[in-house]
Amino acid sequence: MSVPRALVLGAGGQLGMACTARSPGSIEVVGVTRRECDITDYGALERCLDRIAPKVVVNAAAYTAVDDAEDHPEQANAINADAPSALAEICAQRGARLVHLSTDFVFDGAGTAPYAPDSRTAPLGVYGASKLIGEQAVTASGVSHAVVRTSWVYAATGHNFLLTMLRLMRERSVVRVVNDQIGSPTSATGLAEICWALALREEVSGVFHWSDRGEVSWYDFACAIRDEATALGLLAEPVSVEPIANEAFPTKARRPRYSVLDVEETCSLLRVAPRPWREALRDVLRSVSAMEEVRP
């Protein structure tokens, strides 16, 4: 009996790489990068799915440049809104289940308690709005699906807050970080495992939330990165991390002040518990250390 196939779109990104690396043994996974399949090209998506014939598609491809999206709304919407709509239609036609990644940016951050999957959405900018349109298209398509909202994703590779902080802490004696935006850091590795768990639950469709356990500010996260990286020898000495208000670090796109996600429904369904965010951070930094050791 042949092993069912799964397709990971956006396999060159940090989550796509994690999904490829953490795939269950019961599935043959084929990862496709942006260069190999332009998800904004309907015909290219059809050809890709026809060639691979997956039972599950994980869409980890996205336009994630939050500030640039304000200047390039057409591109953001093409990737985050139109492409998921087309992908859902193509998956439905072929009987493939779709796991689609979304974001805490669909909320405005005005709340003070963790957002549930059915909480009112109100994105503040182009990025969040485009992601909301994309997830709405998936849920309305009739395809078997799991839309997974997550927050503050990072990994040992790619472009993320963790690696940016490590670079800045190696270059500067003082790093200033916003202390009045609250969320939950999420390891791409743990998120990938949840994506696969939901991929295998064909009987359920809907919106699910996932992050690691705990809520912190970006400043708290940066301090933890410094302390853990110093302990592992990734930093020669601990640098000074100074808290600043959001207003002192203006950006083109507004960010939600509070975007902690309520993951209880996902935990109950899958019978899992999120890892404490600092424990997950420590493991990712160990991976960074191991990768640096083997570099020439």
Residues ≥6 apart with Cβ < 8 Å to 115? 104, 107, 209, 259, 260, 261, 262
127 among known catalytic residues: yes
User: Is residue 9 within a helix (H) or strand (E), and if so which, with residue range?
Assistant: strand 5-9
Residue in 127, 154, 219, 258 annotated catalytic = 127
- Which residues face 97 on adjacent strands? 56
Do residues 172 and 240 make contact, with C-beta atoms less than 8 angstroms apart?
A: no
User: Which parts of the chain fold into alpha helices (H)?
Assistant: 14-21, 42-52, 66-71, 73-77, 83-94, 126-140, 161-171, 188-199, 218-231, 264-270, 277-294
Residues ≥6 apart with Cβ < 8 Å to 157? 14, 17, 163, 291
- Known catalytic residues are 127
